Structure 1
Amino acid sequence: MPQPQAAPRRAPADALTTTPKGRVYAMLDTDGDGFASRHDYFARIERARQATGRTHDDPLVIAAHATGERAWAAMDANGDGVMTYEEYVAWVDADKFDNVCRHALGALFDLADADQDGALDRSQFTALRQALNNRASNADAAFDALDRDGGGLIGRTEYLASIRAYITGEGSPMGDALY
């Protein structure tokens, strides 16, 4: 007979403000209850869809949901609908970013890329990051940190590389500004 599972512990408040993985986890917890749930994760995709004005049947929305499903399945390995802070910290690393997160985050980038030119302008970037649970002022500072040449556009590759660098502890001016 299966043993009842212990109630998951909430994320430690100090970790959510002092470590890159903790800050990202806090952003994933869209309702602020101390857990990143399936609902939290897919709420971010829905907010990105709404922010970009796309319909549910838009191929990019469908792709974002499909990559989101794969990412969530990988993150919620025990299938209980909750990814605790401890599970997230133990799970996320460079390999997981490269093989799971990059695709999900790239699909969200593509939603925001209105003209599909592989780059976001400031308003597209800010709308995406707000949909993903970052403050507008942080998104604005993150855009400035990434737009080193002052061209007014952030490319998909540099965007994803910056998130990867932040998660893996390599340092990211964009990540530092966002979180």
Structure 2
Amino acid sequence: MLDVDGDGVITHEEYLSRVDRVASAVGRDADHPTVAASWTAHDAVFRDMDADRDGRVTFEEYRTWVGHDAFERYCRSALGSLFDIADADADGRLERAEFLRLRTAGGNAETDAAAAFDALDTDRDGLVDRDAYLAGIRSFVTNAESPMAAAYGVAQPVPDRS
């Protein structure tokens, strides 16, 4: 999802492009304060991932970086900022259509995004709140049962801090 051109590295431009894709998908202008805040948050994540400061994040840099600490230190803010861009009425909740726009603009397949919405909408009210969204991503990235955590070698149980 992050290596847009498939060349094996994530560039600064590729990483920040997902902010632009989400903003465009939901009709937010580049000068909107929520979009600007998201660029700032994503820039901080990229700088932290890019261990050798060459403007490119390799798989090994990402693998070394990813995990619970990185999520709490940087990803929570960056991913939360994408949620905020998609949250048109700023009520802290996304309806299904908003959620699908956010996730597909971010690079997820629509079927995966729909399954994620269904899993996160535990009370079946047709909404996913910001905290549940971030907890779901944190769990997917860092929990031992996650295919993503296993692929990146960061599988570790994470205490629930929700």
TM-score class normalised by the smaller sequence: 0.7 to 0.9
Partner of 1:106, secondary structure, is helix
Counterparts of 2:106 and 2:56, CA distance in 1: 18
Q: CA shift at 1:99, angstroms?
A: 1.1
Q: CA shift at 1:169, angstroms?
A: 2.0
Which residue matches 2:72?
98
Q: CA shift at 1:170, angstroms?
A: 4.3
8 Å Cα contact 1:110-1:116 kept in structure 2: yes
Which residue among 52, 59, 64 is the counterpart of 2:38?
64
Identity of aligned residues (%): 48
Partner of 2:29, secondary structure, is coil
Counterparts of 1:153 and 1:165, CA distance in 2: 19
Instruction: Write the mapping of 1:25-174 to structure 2, written as runs, cut at 5 A.
Output: 27-171=1-145
Partner of 2:122, secondary structure, is coil
* TM-score normalised over the length of structure 1: 0.78
Unaligned runs of 5+ in 1: 1-26
CA root-mean-square deviation: 1.8
Q: CA shift at 1:166, angstroms?
A: 1.1
Counterparts of 1:38 and 1:153, CA distance in 2: 32
Counterparts of 2:17 and 2:51, CA distance in 1: 20
Larger Rg: 1
Q: CA shift at 1:171, angstroms?
A: 4.1
8 Å Cα contact 1:30-1:133 kept in structure 2: no
Partner of 2:138, secondary structure, is helix
Which residue matches 1:22?
none
Partner deviation per Cα, 1:40-71 (whole Å, 9 max, x = no partner): 11111110110111111100011001111111
Q: CA shift at 1:100, angstroms?
A: 0.5
* TM-score normalised over the length of structure 2: 0.86
Which residue matches 1:15?
none
Which residue matches 1:16?
none
Counterparts of 1:82 and 1:113, CA distance in 2: 31
Counterparts of 1:90 and 1:106, CA distance in 2: 23
Read off the aligned partner of 1:150 and give its amino acid letter.
R
Counterparts of 2:118 and 2:7, CA distance in 1: 31
Q: How many residues align?
A: 149
User: Bigger shift: 75-84 or 124-133?
Assistant: 75-84
